[in-house]
Structure 1
Amino acid sequence: MKRVQVAIIGGGPSGLLLGQRLHQAGIDAVILEQRSAAYVLGRIRAGVLEQGTVDLMDQLGVGQRLHAQGLVHGGFDLGFRNTRQRIDLHRLTHGRQVMVYGQTELTRDLMDARSACGAVTVYDADEVQLHDFDGTSPRVSWRRHGVAHELQCDFIAGCDGFHGVSRASVPPGALKVFERHYPFGWLGVLSETPPVSHELIYSNHERGFALCSMRSLTRSRYYIQCPAGDTPARWSDQAFWDELRRRLDPESAERMVTGPSIEKSIAPLRSVVAEPMRFGRLFLAGDAAHIVPPTGAKGLNLAASDVQFLSQALVEHYQQRSDAGIDRYSGRCLHRVWNAVRFSWWFTSLMHRFPDGGEFGQKLQEAEIGYLLQSEAAATALAENYVGLPLER
């Protein structure tokens, strides 16, 4: 039976970020991923990085391509009543900004770095099971190509998503889950077309929310609010483009370049938080512990902040013989998580049409958006949350 210091369950961004940070600190860690490397790289996910996430990539020595190809955004446009008004993030937050860089590319950078340094990632790990994490000698078992394997470790980091084995391994009654499911989803299209704007456009429209985003100067990502239970098959490319144009201001609708979709999918919107995020020697991180609506672009960034707290705690344990960081891990993470959940819920509520909102709800939205666009204080609060609150706040 092989032994490592940390077993990381899940080879997505949170697992890869943690693995790279632990390798950097000289801590022996193995990543176990249920899927193939090609499958992990094929997932289409978020692309807006807070400055803290960019800084973490730089600290890990994997930020070169991000800075060469990523798009720095100092603001975004808020569409309302067929007009657009810019939220100046850079000015309102005294120089802070965000970076648009696809999660697929970030994942590729981390995979390449892990391979280059010889760190171990096991792909196609089936039937992963976590054992004895409530004691002092945790174990992880799995099967690969029909062969059974087992690994002893000091700690287990669950970075395998909300439906992964890590959260499911927590004993009944030890975990409390807080949930809110929204009565709509996002229909998203990826296309090889230039973005309609050099920055994102968030649009509140009587027909529903729309978002114009991008992955590069030649690849665009667009979303429209759709009913819960809708299916991509119901939407032809032309129907999507027509509906998107209806929800934008006339100038943006006229300027938009359309084309065949590379990928088309529907994402449900939900807010979910599991508490606590530590169970003995098992830690939950990223989507294994929390999910937020994509409206505020917080999912990947929350995973990165979890990794920073967890890696600090593990480095303190091994290098300083202190468990203070381990004991504080869940509380530190959840303080930041709930701030992000609140912001994502607020921004989602502000920008979408709710089936049961009625005229009263629509008038409240209009009043709040009007106040936001006229008030420096309200715009500053939006900007501060969008670029990411400081790690220790």
Structure 2
Amino acid sequence: MRTQVAIIGAGPSGLLLGQLLHRYGIDAVILERKDPDYVLSRIRAGVLEQGLVGLLDEAGVGARLHQEGLVHDGFEIAFSGKRHRIDLAGTTGGKHVTVYGQTEVTRDLMEARKAAGLTTVYDAADVSLHDFDGDTPKVRWVKDGVTHELACDFIAGCDGFHGVSRQSVAGAVQSFERVYPFGWLGVLSDTPPVSHELIYVNHERGFALCSMRSTQRSRYYVQCPLSDDVAQWSDDRFWDELKHRLDPEAADKLVTGASIEKSIAPLRSFVAEPMRFGRLFLAGDAAHIVPPTGAKGLNLAASDVYYLSRALREFYGEHSKAGIDAYSADALRRVWKAERFSWWMTSMLHRFPDSDAFSQRIQTAELDYLISSQAAITSLAENYVGLPY
């Protein structure tokens, strides 16, 4: 087999890259070690920057998003028992975010790829990357007991932190990491959201977040110790704890119900440098991870896809290597700004185990300053809606 671009990973970043390349007339094959049902079972965030929405439109998969997605012009930050609204549209010249689940983004991209008759190999085992430091990269894998080989011009590693792409260059990567001493216990429920906009909560018992997937499906989180086990958290215990952390009005409005998914996610910041190794490019979680505070994970993967898709289009359409040569630096410039923002939001809103009285007063002062300064609000809003590519 031969293709122009081999894409490793059929998550949203790999699928989006594949769809954009198809629209540019560039052939790509996607390899995924799991089956389609497993890919669609991953529960992830769904707050989309306008840049990502624009890329989905460009890829021809934005119709359902515009029909079902919830456009948010702001969100709220709660501390000291009161909520304060951050007006995104009013401070950024009308920009907003759209709430639309990552699972739905993945589904739309999968269906578009299938409709176009493009090649995606699922259940690809023992994937290995070869000769990407030269001009003739190859990818090998095993399916149904048979070994296959794919020759290509470039390899895009969109297969996450634990994937083969990053592992293939582990010795050449400089890693930067911060692990946070707590996790998020998340619950998905078929209940109406407590508010029509997201609420980020700083509370003495720990952080909380009120989010949603639709007008009838809610996603809630509470900060918890990493040592906790999901089995320790019954639905009743979760709802009681969430109510403790909400302001009185929100606690009264909260509609509870049976959870349809419950999990604990650790928080970490991670960046791998560089993001290009010859003809292998890392993108998305293969190159960086952000804590979910501020909803930058999927959006940051999309910005990688933006830079990489343009670079490949320039290579094939204009016979220029300029975009390819600039990919790592361009992507990392935006990565580190998103890492800074996610770290700042996490530091401002969570309770750290080693935090003393001084640190807590500083945190409250930071929040007080934020909601009283138009400059601070504007900075927050600009980062939240997404910095330009």
The one-letter code sitting in structure 2 at the alignment partner of 1:150 is: E
1:171 is displaced (CA, Å) by 5.3
**Which deviations, in whole Å up to 9, do the C-alpha atoms of 1:301-320 show, x marking residues without a partner?**
01101001000000111110
Q: Does 1:384 align with 2:365?
A: no
How does the TM-score come out when normalised to structure 1?
0.98
Matched, 1:243 2:248: no
Matching of residue 282 in structure 1 with residue 285 in structure 2: no
In the TM superposition, 1:342-353 aligns within 5 A as 342-353=340-351
Residue aligning to 1:314: 312
1:13 aligns with 2:12: yes
Determine whether 1:254 maps to 2:235: no
What is the distance in 1 between the residues matched to 2:255 and 2:221?
15
**Distance in 1 (alpha carbons) for counterparts of 2:359 and 2:124:** 48
Q: Within 5 Å, which residues of 2 pair with 1:352-391?
A: 352-391=350-389
**Letter matched to residue 14 of structure 1:** S
Q: Which residue does the alignment assign to 2:169?
A: 170
Shift of 1:360: 1.1
The superposition leaves residues 51-92 of structure 1 with CA deviations (integer Å, 9 ceiling, x where unpaired) of: 000111111111000000000000001111111110000001
Q: Which AA in structure 1 matches 2:210?
A: C
For 1:34 and 1:184, how far apart are their aligned partners in 2?
30
Structure 2 residue 97 is matched with structure 1 residue 112: no
Structure 1 stretch displaced more, 226-235 or 154-163: 226-235
Q: Identify the residue that residue 332 of structure 1 maps to in structure 2.
A: 330
The TM-score, its normalising length taken from structure 2, stands at 0.99
Identify the residue that residue 78 of structure 2 maps to in structure 1: 79
Q: Which runs of 5+ in 1 are unaligned?
A: none
Please state how far the C-alpha of 1:229 moved relative to its aligned partner: 2.3
Partner of 2:136: 137
CA deviations over 1:294-338 (Å, ceiling 9, x no partner): 001000001101001000000111110000000000000000000
The C-alpha deviation readout for 1:100-156, integer Å capped at 9, x for no partner, is 000000000000000000111000000000000001100000001211111000000
Please name the residue that 1:193 is paired with.
191
Number of residues paired by the alignment?
389
Distance 2:39 2:170 in 1: 28
Q: Distance in 2 between matches of 1:371 and 1:319?
A: 50
Which residue of structure 1 lines up, in the alignment, with residue 30 of structure 2?
Answer: 31
Q: In the alignment, is residue 46 of structure 1 matched against residue 74 of structure 2?
A: no
For 1:180-225, what per-residue CA distance to the aligned partner results, in whole angstroms no more than 9, with x for missing partners?
0000000000000000000000000000000000000000000000
In structure 2, what is the equivalent of residue 95 of structure 1? 94
Unpaired runs of 5+ residues, structure 2, are none
Matches within 5 A, 1:201-240: 201-240=199-238
Q: AA paired with 1:189?
A: V
- Rounded Cα–Cα distance in structure 2 between residues aligned with 1:7 and 1:324: 20
Partner of 1:154: 153
* Alpha-carbon distance between aligned partners in 2 of 1:237 and 1:212, rounded to the nearest angstrom: 16
State the distance in 1 between where 2:100 and 2:33 align. 25
**2:130 counterpart letter in structure 1:** H
* Pair 1:62 & 2:26 matched: no
Read off the aligned partner of 1:137 and give its amino acid letter: T
2:256 matches 1:292: no
For residue 308 of structure 1, what is the amino acid of its counterpart?
Y
Distance in 1 of aligned mates of 2:137 and 2:55: 29
- In structure 2, what is the equivalent of residue 267 of structure 1? 265
Distance, in Å, in 2 between the alignment partners of 1:32 and 1:229 is 35
Q: Secondary structure at the match of 1:197?
A: coil
Separation in 2, partners of 1:20, 1:305: 15
Using the TM superposition, give the Cα deviation of residue 231 of structure 1 relative to its aligned residue in structure 2, in angstroms: 1.4
